[in-house]
Amino acid sequence: MLYFKCFMKFGKILCLCLSLFFVSFLNSAFALDSVQIHKHYMEGDFDRLALQLEDVLHKSISPVSLSDSLLCLSYLAFIYGSYPEERSKGEAYLTLLYQKKPKFALSQFMLSDELEVWAEGVRGKVFPVKSNPTPLVQPKALTRKEKTFLASYATGGGVLLAFGTYILWQYMGTDSKDVLLETEF
């Protein structure tokens, strides 16, 4: 009976390990090749590339790594952004890209001036720039009554500090523990 229980536990562990190996094998088989993706992009094979990248993003078995998702989002944003009728879809991908990597550089893509302006406009929507910063709140001026009130506390505090320093000085200067009784005022 004990042998059977151990065999069952080992079988479960073996099945788990094999399934994890199979999933990792599938993901490594479909790993993204950034050189090939860039080659297809530069050749203008946008339809095939868009289908492949959307499959990676949306139909992957396991979670996509951050670098792969950034690669997919960047190419999908500019593929869909290059078609005026698909700009809203490209804007959605570019917004996701800017949210994941705020300092994304457009330099690796050969973009037209129109697409660069569009991408900067999307960046402006995601990260709006404050044109008129609010001025700092200036403290209000104190009234005469408040000034005299604070001055009296400051003077009283100074007197107490001086008196405390004098007592401490007297105590440190003698060996007696009854300094307060010996001090003449």
pTM exceeds 0.75, yes or no? no
What pLDDT is attached to residue 151?
A: 79
Compute how many other C-beta atoms are within 10 angstroms of the C-beta atom of residue 80.
Answer: 20
Burial class (CB in 10 A: 0-12, 13-18, 19+), 20: exposed
Determine the Cα–Cα distance for residues 87 and 19; give it in Å rounded to an integer. 40
**Low-confidence residues in the chain, pLDDT < 50:** 4, 6-8, 11, 14-29
Determine the Cα–Cα distance for residues 124 and 122; give it in Å rounded to an integer. 5
Which residue from 7, 78, 16 is spatially nearest to 42, judged by alpha carbons? Answer: 78
Which residue from 102, 103, 110, 100 is spatially nearest to 75, judged by alpha carbons? Answer: 110
What pLDDT is attached to residue 89?
A: 92
CB contact set of 111 (below 8 Å; sequence gap of 6+) = 78, 119
Q: Which residue has the tokens 């399934």?
A: 19
Which residue from 86, 160, 87, 99 is spatially nearest to 126, judged by alpha carbons? Answer: 99
Sequence-ordered alpha helix ranges (H) in the chain: 2-29, 34-43, 46-58, 66-81, 87-100, 113-126, 144-173, 179-182
DSSP string of 144-157, one letter each residue: HHHHHHHHHHHHHH
